[in-house]
């Protein structure tokens, strides 16, 4: 729809109307960050016209520069811009809570009944599809990002660094950012970001928060407000961690989860797929909260729920709490699992709220001047290599079976290949694909 001078500006949006939209989004936000952002754009920019496309994309650019789930942060940002801090809290929590509740229930079913033949069959069908989904994510991001030999070299180096040399993910992100800064200065043509967005010239009529709408009072930058917000965020994180550390000690599973997931929250550049290798390094290899097979199952469950994929941290927390229940809730396995899921979610998503509430006014004050494209492009290129290494990690556990004798699972490989073709060539939606593979696995489980 093109701009019509007779189209009236939308009426102010009540908090109740906003509540209804954010709750609906939290319940239907399948399809990963790209799908969630597209859903918000279609509803908030095109249909409801709560915010103009330029303001929407400016907010999105800031969220993409931050660690953490960009779709969640975009919802928090728009909620904050429209209804101050209460709008930010409402938008963010409603975006996350449906996913968290569903994943806690699925995690309990998995731990309590995961060895039932039907559930094992469903997971057998889903897991090869997840390998294909991860590879397709690397393929799509690579097509958008790897636009020069320099960026291809960074992606290849990141793959070798994490898959072969086992270097920690934070070091890879830091190295890519440094290369991007240097490359942007000395070889700018190699680090030019490709065009993104929705075609900025499109117009849908005047928006409630339009290009020329003055910055609201609460969104104006001030140093005291910035420092106060940062201090409050740090205090909330520290007090929550202290409440976990005092009863069980700093070596208790919940206190360790608080520290670990805080680090993970600050390293989630490039989406959930990029930080999953870090989660594997910590949760599987270092703390032994969860096994590689359980991690794979958790990713399969995470793909089938709404909300951000990084919500898989709730599954890791639940399984970690269940597995270490003696140090959390005695013999109450489900309660220990719920505690682990809530701790993981709190420390993972708290920084996202702080980043928006603290940095949002600075972004509003600097519209049109946000220039960090070269380091971001280099990090995005490294993320392609990291995601490809993740597909290799999962593929090794899904396709190579050690029992009863070491062998390749050719049926699982065939499912993954078919899923990859469906995703990349025929653009099949993730949920439809997972549902089809789940049904196929369920049917297989009843065959002799």
pTM recorded for the entire structure? 0.78
**Domain locations in the chain?**
99-194+217-446
R_g (Cα) of the chain, nearest Å = 22
**Rounded to 10 degrees, what is the CA torsion of 397, 400, 401, 407?**
180
- At 380 the pLDDT is 76
Are 151 and 381 contacting, i.e. CB atoms less than 8 angstroms apart? yes
- At 147 the pLDDT is 83
pLDDT tens per residue, range 346-379: 999 999 999 999 999 988 886 654 355 677 778 8
Residue 84 pLDDT > 80: yes
Residue 196 pLDDT > 50: no
pLDDT tens per residue, range 267-310: 776 667 777 888 988 999 999 999 988 998 888 888 778 888 88
- At 2 the pLDDT is 46
Task: Specify the 3-state DSSP secondary structure of 408.
Answer: strand
Beta-bridge partners for 401: 407
Beta-bridge partners for 400: 408
Residue 36's nearest CA partner among 435, 350, 424, 310 is: 310
Percent of the chain with pLDDT over 70: 92
Percent of the chain with pLDDT over 90: 44
Higher pLDDT, 83 or 329: 83
pLDDT tens per residue, range 221-267: 999 999 999 999 999 999 999 999 998 789 999 999 999 999 999 87
Residue 200 confidence class, pLDDT cut points 50, 70, 90: very low
Task: Specify the 3-state DSSP secondary structure of 396.
Answer: helix
Q: How many Å from the N-terminal Cα to the C-terminal Cα in the chain?
A: 56
Residue 211 confidence class, pLDDT cut points 50, 70, 90: confident
The CA–CA distances, whole Å, from 382 to 159, 178, 376 equal: 8, 12, 10
pLDDT tens per residue, range 420-433: 999 888 888 777 88
Higher pLDDT, 146 or 117: 146
Q: Which secondary structure element, helix H or strand E, spans residue 131, and what is its range?
A: helix 117-145
Residue 4 pLDDT > 60: no
Residue 340 pLDDT > 80: yes
- At 99 the pLDDT is 93
Residue 5 pLDDT > 60: no
- At 194 the pLDDT is 45
Residue 312's nearest CA partner among 259, 169, 320 is: 320
């Amino acid at each position: 729809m093109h701009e019509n001078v007779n189209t009236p500006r939308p009426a102010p949006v009540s908090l109740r109307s906003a509540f209804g939209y954010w709750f609906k989004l939290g319940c239907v936000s399948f399809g990963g960050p790209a799908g969630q952002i597209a859903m918000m754009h279609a509803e908030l920019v095109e249909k409801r016209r709560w915010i103009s496309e330029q303001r929407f994309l400016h907010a999105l650019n800031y969220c993409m520069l931050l660690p953490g789930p960009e779709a969640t942060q975009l919802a928090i940002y728009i909620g904050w811009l429209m209804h101050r801090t209460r709008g930010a809290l409402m938008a963010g929590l409603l975006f996350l809570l449906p996913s968290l509740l569903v994943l806690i229930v699925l995690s309990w079913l998995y731990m309590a009944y995961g060895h039932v033949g039907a559930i094992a069959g469903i997971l057998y069908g889903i897991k090869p599809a997840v390998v294909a989904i991860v590879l397709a994510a690397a393929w799509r991001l690579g097509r958008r990002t790897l636009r020069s030999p320099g960026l291809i070299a960074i992606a290849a180096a990141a793959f070798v660094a994490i898959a072969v040399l086992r270097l920690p993910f934070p070091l890879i992100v830091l190295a890519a950012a440094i290369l991007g800064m240097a490359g942007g200065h000395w070889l700018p043509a190699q680090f030019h970001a490709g065009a993104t967005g929705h075609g900025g010239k499109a117009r849908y009529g005047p928006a409630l928060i339009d290009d020329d709408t003055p910055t609201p009072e609460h969104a104006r930058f001030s140093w005291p407000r910035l420092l106060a917000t940062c201090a409050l965020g740090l205090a909330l994180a520290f007090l929550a961690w202290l409440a976990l550390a005092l009863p069980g000690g700093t070596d208790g599973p919940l206190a360790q989860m608080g520290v670990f997931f805080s680090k993970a929250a600050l390293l989630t550049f490039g989406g959930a797929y990029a930080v999953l290798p870090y989660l594997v390094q910590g949760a599987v290899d270092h703390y032994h909260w969860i096994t590689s097979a359980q991690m794979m199952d958790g990713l399969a469950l995470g793909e089938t729920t709404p909300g951000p994929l990084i919500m898989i941290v709730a599954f890791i927390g639940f399984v970690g709490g269940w597995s270490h229940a003696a140090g959390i809730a005695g013999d109450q396995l489900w309660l220990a699992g719920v505690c682990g899921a809530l701790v993981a979610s709190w420390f993972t998503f708290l920084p996202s709220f702080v980043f928006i509430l603290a940095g949002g006014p600075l972004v509003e004050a600097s519209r049109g001047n946000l220039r960090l494209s070269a380091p971001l492009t280099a990090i995005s290129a490294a993320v392609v290599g990291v995601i490809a290494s993740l597909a290799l990690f999962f593929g090794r556990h899904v396709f190579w079976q050690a029992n009863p004798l070491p062998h390749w699972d050719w049926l699982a490989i065939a499912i993954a290949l078919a899923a990859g073709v469906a995703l990349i060539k025929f653009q099949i939606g993730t949920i439809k694909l997972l549902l089809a593979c789940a049904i196929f696995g369920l049917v297989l489980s009843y065959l002799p």
